[in-house]
Amino acid sequence: MDLAGKTIFITGGTGSFGKACTEVLLAHADPKAIRLFSRDELKQSELQASYRDESRLRFLIGDVRDRERLLAATRGVDVIIHAAALKQVPVCEYNPFEAVQTNIVGSENIVAAAIANAVPRTLLLSTDKAVNPVNLYGATKLCAEKIVTQGNAYAADSVARFSTVRYGNVVGSRGSVVPIFAEQAPQGRLTITDERMTRFWITLPQAVDFVLSCLGIMEGGEVFVPKIPTMRVIEIAQAIAPDAELVFTGIRPGEKLHEVLLTEDEARHARAFDDRYLIYPEFPTWRSEPYDGGEPLPDGFRYSSAQNPDRLTPEELRAILPVLSPVS
């Protein structure tokens, strides 16, 4: 999608994804304006200071729980990237209603604002935790996906269209295992929940590029899943501190051994492309024509971190994050 001259609205705009996406958009997309929407005034002031001479940025304080604020903030917008969420699994478990308010009600508010203001394209950022969820965070993101997909039915007579991007763990993101291992490495002792555990991994630049590419091809209702590598958590530990003692603590509540990005049931209405899978809605009542393109998936196909043939080696991980040179 050509974003030149467009006004782009990013919820969670001061988070890791929002900041990385803003940098790419300013450098390569030539937008008319980027509205960064978040509730953290300190992060907004810090980001504003780093872009002191950039006239295309708009810093908007607000919460996705506040529908009236979203209605005002999204007027005249061409694209919404909905990245705001409560993401930490333990935080969501301990504060369940807060997670529901932000991740579910907030997504409903985004859909309502986009329809009211005729925003042509809205893209939700989701997670592998939304697939067969075993924790509240995953359950709220599954609900958000359903709300965004069916938003197309509510907007059938509008230009507004809604889709979702679902990807795995972002390498080195806040709260992930990589910075935890890096912090533990100098002590020579790393804690691992289970040696069998595997995860999908994507870098932050890859996530931004994938999201922006999905904006260009979305028609409304799709869930986009990137083809990304898998790595065992124990191999991450070996990449960061090969000589460290490994202490196994057991799987935590709400945690899985392996993650899934696409289930057997979803595979029946999904298609494979060179670099991604597209999961199409089962009941696209807002469309008169079927989706086309891609290759159908075989019966019983499951895109799981345990079965993924694309494996990331410790050497490849260190090349992605050179700051993580092995610590003895």
What was the pLDDT predicted at 313? 85
| Residue 2 resides in a domain | no
Closest CA to 227 of 249, 251, 247, 201: 201
Percent of the chain scoring above 70 in pLDDT: 96
| Residue 1 resides in a domain | no
For residue 201, give every residue at least 6 positions away whose Cβ sits within 8 Å of its Cβ, in sequence order, or none: 168, 169, 170, 171, 228, 229, 230, 231, 312, 317
226 pLDDT band, cuts 50/70/90, is very high
| Residue 233 resides in a domain | yes
What does the pLDDT look like over 200-223, one tens digit per residue? 999 999 999 999 999 999 999 999
Strand, helix or coil for residue 115? helix
CA distance 127 to 137: 9
Across the range 221-232, mean pLDDT stands at: 96
Global confidence as pTM? 0.94
State the number of CA atoms in the 13 A half-sphere of 39 facing the CB: 12
CA torsion angle 57 17 83 173 (round to 10): -150
Tell me the average pLDDT of the chain.
Answer: 93
For residue 149, give every residue at least 6 positions away whose Cβ sits within 8 Å of its Cβ, in sequence order, or none: 162, 163, 164, 221, 223, 281
| Residue 109 resides in a domain | yes
What was the pLDDT predicted at 252? 81
Across the range 258-286, mean pLDDT stands at: 96
**pLDDT higher than 80, residue 159:** yes
178 pLDDT band, cuts 50/70/90, is confident
Q: Which amino acid is residue 311, in one-letter code? A: R
What does the pLDDT look like over 120-133, one tens digit per residue? 999 999 999 999 99
Q: Which amino acid is residue 197, in one-letter code? A: M
324 pLDDT band, cuts 50/70/90, is very low
| Residue 41 resides in a domain | yes
What was the pLDDT predicted at 326? 40
103 pLDDT band, cuts 50/70/90, is very high
What was the pLDDT predicted at 322? 53
CA distances from 198 to 133, 179, 235 (A): 16, 17, 9
Q: Which amino acid is residue 313, in one-letter code? A: T
| Residue 327 resides in a domain | no
Beta bridge pairs of residue 81: 10, 123
What was the pLDDT predicted at 175? 63
Percent of the chain scoring above 90 in pLDDT: 78
Q: What is the DSSP letter of 191?
A: E
**pLDDT higher than 90, residue 323:** no
Expressed as residue numbers, the domain containing 315 is 7-320
Q: What is the DSSP letter of 59?
A: E
Beta bridge pairs of residue 277: 225, 272
328 pLDDT band, cuts 50/70/90, is very low
**Nearest-5° angle of CA 72, CA 8, CA 107?**
60
Q: How many domains is the chain built from?
A: 1
Supply the CATH number for residue 16's domain.
3.40.50.720
| Residue 328 resides in a domain | no
Active-site residues: which are they? Answer: 129
| Residue 206 resides in a domain | yes
